Amino acid sequence: MPYTLIHHTGCGSSKKGLALLQENGIEPEVRKYMNKSDMLSESELRDIARKMGNVSPRAFMREKDAIKLGISDSASDDELFAAMAAEPRLIQRPIGINGAKAILGRPNEQLLDIA
């Protein structure tokens, strides 16, 4: 199964994460999730959370964008998954996925932990 990188081309950290993987001989399948045709579904977001160790979607949600969009601190995980699927800017990046594991690349070096 190929390494997949959930990537935003307009994000410096995401670009650095992609470059780091490539420098280490990993050519990931790049998922440009901000593009309408490549957006992540609720099911895919739930799968990422499961692969991260059954974490809450808050573990990979951009808090500052959640505040801007008026998402409540008391929102349920179901509400967060739905919001993130509808509004991809809520998703923190980059996220690496390799087989049964996923990791948030913050810092970017963590992307290598599942390579």
At 69, give phi and psi (nearest 5°): -90, 0
Which residue among the candidates 3, 4, 11, 55 is catalytic per the annotation? 11
In single-letter form, the type of residue at position 83 comes to A
Which spans in the chain are helix H?
Answer: 12-23, 42-51, 63-68, 77-86
Kindly report the length of the chain: 115
Q: Is 11 a catalytic residue?
A: yes
Active site residues: 11
